[in-house]
Amino acid sequence: MGRRVEYTPASKVRNVLRQLFLRSRERARTMKAAGYICQKCGAKQSRAAGREVYVECHHVHGIDWDGLIALIRERLLSGELTVLCKDCHDKETRGEA
């Protein structure tokens, strides 16, 4: 087994984000609105044996994975963390501390 790193690897962050997208309401809504039909060639999704056709959602503007992961590292996974009780955390979040 490999050695354990001190931070969450980029591959794990990317995989979690991808899984979140695959289960998102936005993706489901887009697929349903399109009728599970390719918007380019008109192929309809099919699971029939021997005639499988799979459609996928495509991000029109692409995804900057490196930038997105860097932002998550900076804002969410930074080492600048502290432990607070729920009440103190709520006050700190509201700026009442």
Q: What is the domain range of residue 71?
A: 10-94
> DSSP readout, 75-87?
HTS-S------HH
3 occurs within a structural domain = no
19-44 average pLDDT score = 96
Q: Which residues contact 73 (CB under 8 A, 6 or more apart)?
A: 7, 13
4 occurs within a structural domain = no
Confirm whether pTM is higher than 0.85.
no
pLDDT tens, residue by residue, 43-97: 999 999 999 999 999 999 999 999 999 999 998 888 888 999 999 999 999 988 6
Give the tokens for residue 19. Answer: 């899984």
- Structurally, the chain folds into a number of domains equal to 1
Position 87 scores a pLDDT of 95
Position 7 scores a pLDDT of 81
- The closest alpha carbon to 53, from 72, 38, 68, belongs to 38
Exposed, middle or buried, 6 (CB in 10 Å: 0-12/13-18/19+)? Answer: exposed
16 occurs within a structural domain = yes
5 occurs within a structural domain = no
Res. 5: pLDDT tops 80: no
